[in-house]
Structure 1
Amino acid sequence: MVALAQDYKKSNSLGAGYAGALVTVFIWATWIIATRHSSGTHLGTIDLGLIRYGVPALVLAPIWLRTGLIPRDVPLVLLAIMVCGAGAVFFQFTTFAIHSTPASAVGVLLGGFMPLAATLIGVLLFGERPDLTRCLGLAAIIVGLAILLVLALGNHAISWISFVFLPLGALLWAAYTHAFKRSGLTAMQGGALIAVWSFLIHVGLALVFGTTIFDVPLPEIGLQFLSQGVLSGLAAMLAYGIAVRSLGGSQAAAFSALTPVLAAFGGAFFLDEPVGVWEIAAAGITGLGVALSTGILSHRLKG
C-alpha cells in the first residue's frame, strides 16, 4: 500500500510538472509575439519591464513580505542568479533583441537554446549524466532548431544583436533553472522574489532613463498588461517553478524547445510570417526531441 501511494504521488507530481511546462511554453510563445508587436509602439524595454514585473510583484506581495527580500535560508548567490536569469537582466537582453528579430527566429535562438544550455550546465557543474534516450532527444532538438534557423536566415536579415543577446538570454534562463532547483524556495516564493527585485531594478532604470508608459494608449497598455504582467510575469513563472520542482532543471527546460514551433506558427498567424513544409517538419522533429529528452516516452515504455 505504501509503495502504491508513493507511485501515485510520483505520478501526480510528474503530471503537474508536464502540465506546468506546457503552460509555460504556450505563454512564452505568446510573449514573443506580443513583445515583437510592441516594437511598433512607443513602449520601450523599460516600460515593458515595469509592466512585466510590477503586476506579479503586487499580486505576490504577501509572499515576499513574509519571506523578506533576502531570505536567510537562501544563499545570496543563488538569489542573484535567479533574479538575473529570469528577471531584469534576462528581460532587458531578450526584449532588446526581440524588437529587431522575427518571431520565428526568436523562438529558435531563445527557446530552442534553453534546453541545450540547461543540459550543458547540468553536465559541467552538477555532474548530470544524460542517458541515451535524452541524448537522442537533444540531438533531435538540434536538428529541428537547425532547420528553423536555416529557414530564418534565408527569409530574414538577422543582425548580430539577435545571435548574441538571445542565446545569452537562454543561458541566463538555464542558470536560473538550476539555481531555483537548489534554492529550496517554492514556485510562489521564487516568483515573488524575482518579481519584486526585478520591478525595483526597473523603477531605478526608469528614474535614470525615463519612461513613456504614460504616453501610450490604454488598449496597448491593456494588451501588454495581460501578456507581460499576468501571463508571462505571473502565470508562466509559477507554472515553470512547478515544472522545475517536479521534473528537475534540465528536463523542465527541455520543454522550451517547443517554443520555436509555437512562435513560428504564431508569427505566421499574427505577424504574417511564412510557414511551409520545412517548418512543419521541424515542428515534428523538435516535438519528438522534447518527448525523448524529458523522459516521457521512457516512462510510458517502462509502464
Structure 2
Amino acid sequence: MVALSSESRKSNSLATGYAGALITVLIWATWIIATRHSSGTHMGTIDLGLVRYGLPALVLAPVWLKTGLVPRDVPLALLAVMVCGAGALFFQVTTFAIHSTPASAVGVLLGGSMPLAAALIGVLLFGERPDFTRWLGLASILAGLAILLVLALNDHEITWVSFVLLPAGALLWAAYTHAFKRSGLTALEGGALIAIWSFLIHLGLAGVYGSSMLEVPLPELGLQFLSQGILSGLAAMLAYGIAVRSLGGSQAAAFSALTPVLAALGGAIFLDETVGVWEIVAALVTGLGVALSTGVLSHRAKY
C-alpha cells in the first residue's frame, strides 16, 4: 500500500508537471504573436515591460511582502540570475528582437533553443547525465528546429539581431530555470520576486527614457494587458514554476521545443505567415523529441 501510494504521488506529480509545461508553451506562443503585433503600435519595449510585470507584481504583492525583496534563505546570486533570466533583462533582449523577427523564426530561435540551452547548462555546470533516450530526444528536437530554421531563412530576411539576441534570451531563460530549481522558492514566491524586481527596473527605465503608454489605444492596451500581464507575466510564470518543481529544470525546459510549431501556426492564423507540409513534419519530429527528452514515453512504459 505504501509503495502504491508513493507511485501514485509520483504519477500525480508528473501529470501536474506536464500540465504546467503545456500551459506554459501555449501561453508563450500567444506572447510571441502579441509581442510581434505590438511592433506596429505606439507601445515600446519599456511600456510592454511595465504591463508584463506590473500586473503580476500587484496581484502577488502579499507574497513578496511576506518573503521580502531579498529572502534570507535565497543566495543573492541565485535571485539575480532568476530576475535576469526570466525578468527585465530577458524581456528587453527578446522583445527588441521579436519586433524585427517573423513569429515563426522567433519560435525557432527562442523557444526551440531553450531545451538545448537548459540541457547544456545542466551537463556542464551541474553534472547532469541525460540517458540515451533523452539525448535522442534532444537530437530530434534539434532536427525539427533545423527544418523550421531552413524554412525561415528561405522565406524571410532575418538579421544578426535575431540570430544573436533570441538564442541569448534562450540561454538567459535556461539559467533562470536551473537557478529557480535550486532556490528553494515555490512557484508563487519565485514569480512574485521576479515580477516586483522587474517592475521596479522598468519603472527606472521609464523614468530615464520615458513612456508612451498614454498614447496607446485602449483596445491595444487591453490586448497587451491580457497577453503580457495576465497570461505571460502571471499564469505562465506560475505554471512553469510548477513544471520545474515537478519535472526538473532540463525536462521542463524541453517542452519549450513545442513553441516553434505553435508560433508558426499562430503566425499563419493571425499574421498571414505560411504553414506548409514541412512545418507539419517539423511539428511531428519536434513533438517526438519532446516526448523522448522529457521521459514521457519511459514513464508510460512503467505503468
Question: Over residues 220-262 of structure 1, what are the superposed CA-to-partner deviations in whole Å (9 max), with x where a residue is unaligned?
Answer: 0000000000000000000000000000000000000000000
Q: Which residue of 1 aligns with 2:191?
A: 191
What is the alpha-carbon distance in structure 2 between the residues aligned to residue 197 and residue 9 of structure 1?
A: 35
How far did residue 300 of structure 1 move? Answer: 1.0
What is the alpha-carbon distance in structure 1 between the residues aligned to residue 22 and residue 212 of structure 2?
A: 34
Q: Which residue of 2 aligns with 1:212?
A: 212
Equivalent position amino acid for 1:238 in 2: L
TM-score by length of 2: 1.00
Question: Over residues 92-143 of structure 1, what are the superposed CA-to-partner deviations in whole Å (9 max), with x where a residue is unaligned?
Answer: 0000000000000000000000000000000000000010100110000000
What is the alpha-carbon distance in structure 1 between the residues aligned to residue 110 and residue 179 of structure 2?
A: 19
What is the alpha-carbon distance in structure 2 between the residues aligned to residue 70 and residue 300 of structure 1?
A: 41
Q: Which residue of 2 aligns with 1:93?
A: 93
Worse-matched range after superposition: 62-71 or 6-15: 6-15
What is the alpha-carbon distance in structure 2 between the residues aligned to residue 186 and residue 6 of structure 1?
A: 22
Gaps of 5+ in 2: none
Aligned-residue RMSD, C-alpha: 0.4
Equivalent position amino acid for 1:77 in 2: A
Equivalent position amino acid for 2:49 in 1: G
Q: Which residue of 2 aligns with 1:132?
A: 132
Question: Over residues 45-92 of structure 1, what are the superposed CA-to-partner deviations in whole Å (9 max), with x where a residue is unaligned?
Answer: 000000000000000000000000000000000000000000000000
How far did residue 302 of structure 1 move? Answer: 2.2
What is the alpha-carbon distance in structure 2 between the residues aligned to residue 209 and residue 38 of structure 1?
A: 19
Question: Over residues 10-34 of structure 1, what are the superposed CA-to-partner deviations in whole Å (9 max), with x where a residue is unaligned?
Answer: 1111010000000000000000000
Worse-matched range after superposition: 221-230 or 2-11: 2-11
Q: Which residue of 1 aligns with 2:238?
A: 238
Partner-residue secondary structure (3-state), 1:57: helix
How far did residue 301 of structure 1 move? Answer: 1.5
Moved over 4 A (4+): none
Partner-residue secondary structure (3-state), 1:117: helix
What is the alpha-carbon distance in structure 2 between the residues aligned to residue 66 and residue 119 of structure 1?
A: 33
TM-score by length of 1: 1.00
Q: Which residue of 1 aligns with 2:295?
A: 295
Partner-residue secondary structure (3-state), 1:272: coil
What is the alpha-carbon distance in structure 1 between the residues aligned to residue 212 and residue 137 of structure 2?
A: 44
How far did residue 5 of structure 1 move? Answer: 1.1
Equivalent position amino acid for 1:196 in 2: I
Equivalent position amino acid for 2:273 in 1: E
Q: Which residue of 2 aligns with 1:145?
A: 145
Q: Which residue of 2 aligns with 1:202?
A: 202
Q: Which residue of 2 aligns with 1:279?
A: 279
Equivalent position amino acid for 1:227 in 2: S
Q: Which residue of 2 aligns with 1:16?
A: 16
What is the alpha-carbon distance in structure 1 between the residues aligned to residue 7 and residue 83 of structure 2?
A: 35
What is the alpha-carbon distance in structure 1 between the residues aligned to residue 206 and residue 142 of structure 2?
A: 39
Matched, 1:260 2:257: no
What is the alpha-carbon distance in structure 2 between the residues aligned to residue 112 and residue 101 of structure 1?
A: 15
What is the alpha-carbon distance in structure 2 between the residues aligned to residue 200 and residue 242 of structure 1?
A: 25
Worse-matched range after superposition: 241-250 or 8-17: 8-17
Q: Which residue of 1 aligns with 2:172?
A: 172
Aligned residues: 303
Aligned positions of 1:152-167 closer than 5 A: 152-167=152-167
Equivalent position amino acid for 1:187 in 2: A
What is the alpha-carbon distance in structure 1 between the residues aligned to residue 20 and residue 71 of structure 2?
A: 25
Partner-residue secondary structure (3-state), 1:135: helix
Partner-residue secondary structure (3-state), 1:288: helix
